[in-house]
Each structure stands twice: as C-alpha cells, then as structure tokens.
Amino acid sequence: MKSPNSPKSPPNSPKSPPPKSRLMTQVSQLTRTVGEALKINPKERVPKLEVRRSHQDRPEVHDLVGDRYILGRNTSKCDIVIQTPLVSQIHAQIVRDRSQKKSQFILQDQDSTNGIYRQKQRLKSVPLKHKMQITLGPPEMQDAAIIRYLDPPPWYIRSLQYTGLGIGAIAGALILAIAWEVSKVPDLKPLPVTQQGPVEVLAGDGIKRLDPTDIANHTEYATLGEFGQFIPKAVIASEDTSFYWNIGVDPWGVARAIVTNVQTRGERLEGASTITQQLARNILGKTYVGTDDSAGRKWREAAAAIKLTFTYNKDEIMRLYLNRAYAGYGVYGFKDAAKLYFNKEASQLTLSEAATLVGLLPSPETINPFKNKNLAIEYRNRILNRMAELGMISDQDADRARRSVLILNEAAKTKLQGSTAPYYYSYVFEELEELLGKNFAREGNIVVETNLDLAMQRAADKALKDAVANDGGAYGFSQGAIVTVNSEDGSLLAMTGGVSYQASQFNRASQALRQPGSTFKLFSYAAAIDQGISPNTAFGCSSLSGVAGCRGGAGAIDMYRGFAQSENVVAIRVAERAGLNKVVEMAKNLGITAKLDESSNMVLGGNEVKILEMAGAYAAVVNQGRYFKPHAIRRILDTNDCKNPKDRQTCRVVWDAKTAIVPRQALDAGVASVMVDLMRGVVASGTGGSAAIPQAEAIGKTGTTDEARDLWFIGAVPRRNLVTAVWLGNDEGVTSGSSGIAASVWGNYMSQAVR
C-alpha cells in the first residue's frame, strides 16, 4: 500500500519497467554512449537528427550511431531529451530497421499524448528520409518540438542525381526548341513539287549534251511493293536500321557520330542522317533546310524529318525516298537506276543486284559498277553482311548473293563510256560538288553549261591515242593526259584523262599526283626574277651537292640559257639565290596545292603535283600574272525556276563563272613577261624544239623525272590564249623515253587545235 505522502506519477508517465528491463535499457544507453565517445571513422557517413524545442529555437544535432533511440522529456529514460510541454515523458522512439537491403531508421509514436505529425497528418510510424521534418505535437502549436532527419546520399549518388536533373532540364529545353523549330517547317501536305529532271551537261556550244543516259524523264512507283522485297530492306540495313521506330532522327546515331568525330579529331567524319532526314533535305533543300554544310542545316533537317514522320506513315516515307534517291549519271530513284544499270524493273532485281544499287548511295559517282565494278561489289558485300546480321536474310542467302556474278547492262555501259568527252563529263560532277556541295547535283533539275571545245577535245583524244599506239611500245609508256586551258579566263577547253575511259575511269589529268620534273623550274626562276635578280645574271655550271654540272661543261651561263637547256645545277643555284621559301610561296600563289618541301628535290620537280594545277600555273604566267583557277563549268541554271519553261535561258542562274571567279594578280606582270621570254627560248633553241608548230609561235617547258618515269611538256600559244599540259608515262613503272616525246605530242595536238 502506497504511503499517503508518496508523490503521484504524472498522468503521461508510463509504468516503471521491471528491473530486468531497466538493466537492458541502461546497457543499451551505455553502449550508445561508448559508441558516441569512440566515434566512428570521421569519413564514414553517420545519420543525424536535428532537434529544436520550438520554431524559434536553435537546433541540437545528435549522431545516430546506434540502433534505437528514445525521445521524450524523461531525462533518465530518454536518449534524446526534449524539454517542452507538448512532448510526453516517453514520446517516440527511432529504431533501425535492418530487414531491408539498406538499413533504415523508423520513427514510431509511443502512445504519446500529442502524437507525431508530418505536414499536419498524424502518424503512428514513418520511415525517415533525408531532410524529412517531423513535429512532436500538432504543427500549428507554438511549443511543438521539431525534428529533422539528415542522411545525405554519397557524393556519387548526389552527382548522379544532379546530373539527371541537368540532363532532364537540357532535354526539356531541347524538346521545346525542337517543337518551336518543327512549327516553322512548311506544310508537307501536299508535298512540294520536287520531281527530279536530269542533270543536263552541255558542251561549250550550248547545244551538244554530254550526259549520255537515255532516261530523260524521271518516273516513280506509286506503291512501295513495286520496289520488290530486297531494296527497302537493303536501304534500311545500309542507311537507317532504326527507321521503323525512330521519329525521323536517331539520337543514338547522332551521339555515336559525335563521339566518332571527336575521337578522330575530324579525320574520320561520320554522319548520322536517317532516311527521313535525307528525304527532308531532298524535298525542302532549297526552300527551308538549305544546302550548306552547317549545324544550322542539320538542325532544320532534323525538324523537317520529325514533321515528315508525324505527317506520313513509314511506308510512304520509304516510297518517297526510294523514288528520289540519287544513283549517279543524273539518274534518280531505284526505278530508273534498275533500268540503267541492269535493264530491269526494280521488283525483278536479284538480292545481289538490289544490294549493288543500294551500295551506290554514299557516293554514286565513285561507287559505281560502270566505273569501278570491284568497289561496287565491295560495298554490295558490306550491305549483304549487314542484312544477314540484322536477320533480314539468311546467311545462306547472303553467301549465295556474294558468290553471284554481277551482270550489268552492257549496252548502257558502252554508251556511257563511249560518250563525248567522258573524262571531262566526269570531272564536271567533281567540280559541281566542289562549287555547290555534294548534295546539289543530287537534287536534279539543273542545266550545267561547260567550256568544252568539242573540236579540241577530239584532237586531244586522238593525239594521246596516236602517241601510245605509235610510240608507247618503243618508249615504254602506256598512259597519258592532256589538259587545255584558256589563259585569258581559266576556261577548261579540253581534258583527256587517259587513253581509254572504258578501260580505266581514273582521271589522270585531275586526280593523279605525278612528279613534274623540270616543268617545276618555272617557279624557281619566277621567284628569282620577282626578287630582283636579272635574267642576265650568270650562275655557275659546276656540280653541286651530288647534282651533275651543265652539259656544256664548267663555267657560267645566264638564266635564259639555263632555263632553255633545263640545266639542273643552275636551277638549284637560282632557287637558292631567290630563297627556297620564296619558291614554295611562288608555287602556292600560282595555284599549286600539294605539299612542297624546301629542298633541291623540290626545285628539280621531286614533289608530286596535279597536271591540271600545273596547266593553271603556266596559264597565269601567260596571262600577265593574273591567275584564274581552271574550271570546266561556265554556268549552272535551275530549271525549276524559269520564266519560260520552254526556254532554258530564262531559268534562274545559280552560278556564273564570269562573276563568281575573280582573277588574282599572283605574279607581277613584268616578271610574267620575262618568264614568257624564257619559255620562248625553250622551243626556239632548247629542249622543247619538238613542240614548234608552223601556225603560231609556241613557248613552253619540258620535264623528265628520274628514270624517265614522267615525261612532260607544258606550253602555250600566247596569241590564241591557249595553254596545254601533256603528260606521258605509266600508272606504275618507268619509261625509256624523254620529254621530247611529250613536246612532240603537244606539237601534233596544237597544230590541229589552232587551225
């Protein structure tokens, strides 16, 4: 029985625990006290509990290193004492729950009078999370204690969280930007009229067409099924494996292209255009997307592709693409391509043939079975392998197609290769791509007027064939190239890039790099005269650094005789007097783009250059030092934009050489005049005597490289503003001839050309 004087227990006071329980509590408290005293590794993350007795109170911070904590006003039984009226003697406890993979603290109400609240909601228990705030008692009460749990995630988790937020923000901004751009794309129903007509290439007379195909009018299939089963699959394997699920752009492809381009520092450029983007560029290239190679164009192209995807179904987009893809020789769409290359309808193509046509897409003028069958087969096999990897065809079908003989439309091939000026025609597309971008020619509906002189072209072709037939066997050469340029404006009048275009489509006039031999001495002598050295200055003829002395013996000769007789040792002394850097500078000024080393090897023509560029350099000298880059194209007309569709001359002029190509004074006119005098001596009394023609005075320079590997003559008829470069040799190997043979070929050709 209690003593009447015994103090009453407070109403909220729980019953006293039994002795055993009190002992366990004391042990637990002692363990926690020891743990807190010893502390954990400072670098280890420890959850914390901030406690404020009221809204205005400063927080106390407690490390939660143990598994259980009691919160309340009782100083002897609570681990965390909170002295405020609304808090019960034993108000709540925090218990570590180790049943989860990651242990977690849980706050539990201990039948308190005023409860625990989160956002005005009373709770029995609640798992604690980082920055969670709980009030012990109704939150609107001023004396309610506030606790806040702090357990921030590791730095790497926080980094991931912030990164995710950043990516999300960027993605959101990008989506809004794309949506805005898509809203600016022109209406795509109905589609803009872009039916491709042929690329008409006209000779200098403005009448004769050089494009040799019979496909004058572009026609299209009305349904996707008419293309057969193989072409659509091959296009997807080659161009866009995600076609049927992407939204017009392939984010993974874009990311992959960016990584590749960054890793290779631009040495290996990889694109990421989907089929839909290519179609968007084709349809809206001139009106919205643009044709320049820029980030802005790619952005607009992507927006147009997205709008196309939401406007047409995938099969219709594929049909439109297959009807418009460029396939070379001014031909568009796989319907016309199948007719040209295989004389079949697209649905009749075999797997091998379909893969061959699709292989043209990256570069139709290069990966072309009529020009380079082996390269076309290589690309065909890549596509077959890719189709097998994607499960579009079986491995057996791929092997069978790879082992199939590719039978081309030989009638069309013969006509193409036997057409007028095939090397010149092929070069027109190289120049078109250089002038206006690689996609321009693929858009079609254009007329290209060239500078080709048909009579001179026939004479050049005949001169080279006769030279190889008559002298090639005796002197060991089987190939050659002839280029004729109008020195007054840089017009390319004739170009013969080899003996037979049917046998080899490699254009030796514009693509080959050959050692120019003594024709390169033009730059050394011009640099010396430009530095104020008189052409009458005498230079020693004795041997120098392993280079033999003059053929006439020791002594000294002036620059006139040294150039006419092509004395190597004199050329080296002239170049050294001028400065080898000045020789390089002179060559660059006159249009030579090849890498040149400042050495005697360069002076004697040991660095490789292009024949067309050498012709352009000599033309500038003949033209009083005014340089025009040699060019085949005179004008480009857009037949989509004509005042009178029946009259080409009313069509919009896209490019005009007269206004686009501005001459550059690359050499002082006085220096050029002296160089013309030096070249006159080469033909009159020097190594180029075989180039003399009865119709007019000829000037020029011979050139023979080591082991007579390359035989050159570059000469001019100044009164007719004609400059012609002739090269004879072999694609591989040496000859037993001399530059005199090249001079003779030049003379035979120019005799016909200047009639």
Q: Say how many Å lie between the first and final Cα of the chain, rounded.
A: 146
| Torsions phi, psi for 746 (to 5 deg) | -60, -45
Q: Given pLDDT bands bounded at 50, 70 and 90, which one contains residue 189?
A: confident
Q: Is the pLDDT of residue 466 over 70?
A: yes
pLDDT band at 413, cuts 50/70/90? confident
- Reply yes or no on whether the pLDDT at 442 is more than 70: no
C-alpha span between 273 and 285 (Å, rounded)? 14
Return the pLDDT at 725: 98
pLDDT tens digits for 553-584? 878 999 999 999 999 999 999 999 999 999 99
Instruction: Write the CA distances from 644 to 27, 636, 653, integer angstroms.
Output: 104, 17, 14
CA dihedral 648, 652, 655, 659 (to 10 degrees): 100
**Among 141-155, 436-450, 476-490, which stretch is predicted with the lowest mean pLDDT?**
436-450
pLDDT at 531 over 80: yes
Q: Which fold has domain 455-628+663-753?
A: Beta-lactamase (3.40.710)
pLDDT value of residue 266: 47
Q: State how far the Cα of 197 lies from the Cα of 638, in Å rounded to an integer.
A: 11
Rounded to an integer, what is the distance from CA 369 to the centroid of its chain? 24
Is the C-alpha dihedral spanning 662, 665, 669, 673 positive or negative?
A: negative
- The per-residue pLDDT for 45 is 75
**pLDDT of the residue at 267:** 45
Same fold, 184-215+228-448 and 455-628+663-753: no
Confidence of residue 420 (pLDDT cuts 50, 70, 90): confident
Specify the higher pLDDT residue, 412 or 597. Answer: 597
**DSSP labels, 482-510:** EEEEETTT-BEEEEE-SS-TTT----TTT
Predicted local confidence at residue 11, as pLDDT: 41
Structure token digits, residue 619: 């033309």
Residue 265 is predicted with a pLDDT of 52
Residues 6+ apart with CB under 8 A from 152: 45, 130, 158
What is the arithmetic mean of pLDDT over 324-348? Answer: 90
Which pair of structure tokens corresponds to residue 547? Answer: 């280079």
Per-domain residue ranges for the chain?
19-153, 184-215+228-448, 455-628+663-753
| Fold classified for 184-215+228-448 | Penicillin binding protein transpeptidase fold (1.10.3810)
**pLDDT > 90: what percent of the chain?**
63
Asked whether the bond before 190 is cis by omega within 30 degrees of 0, the reply is yes
Measured CA to CA, the distance from residue 211 to residue 703 in angstroms comes to 35
* CATH code, residues 19-153: 2.60.200.20
Q: Looking at the DSSP assignment, which residues form a beta bridge with residue 652?
A: 638
**Residue-level pLDDT at 488:** 96
pLDDT digits (tens, 9 = 90+) for 362-398: 988 889 898 889 999 999 999 999 999 999 999 999 9
Using pLDDT thresholds of 50, 70 and 90, give the confidence band for residue 258: low
Q: Which of 650, 688, 645, 672 lies closest to 590 in space, CA to CA?
A: 672
> pLDDT class for 173, splitting at 50, 70, 90?
confident
Q: What DSSP string describes 269-293?
A: ------HHHHHHHHHHIIIII-SSS
Phi, psi of 149 (to 5 degrees): -90, 130
Q: Percentage of the chain surpassing pLDDT 70?
A: 88
CB 81 within 8 A of CB 109: no
Query: What does the DSSP 8-state code read for residue 152?
Result: P
Pairing label, strands 538-540, 556-558 = antiparallel
The pLDDT value given to residue 24: 47
Chain-wide mean pLDDT for the chain? Answer: 87
The model's pTM is: 0.65
Half-sphere exposure of 599 (CA within 13 A, CB side): 10
> Quick one: average pLDDT of 87-107?
89
Would the pLDDT of 629 be above 90? yes
Please check whether residue 527 is in contact with residue 575, taking contact to mean a CB–CB distance below 8 angstroms. yes
Integer Cα distance of 619 and 629 in angstroms: 9
Mean pLDDT lowest for which of 6-15, 160-169, 431-440, 647-656? Answer: 6-15
Mean pLDDT, rounded, for 693-715? 95
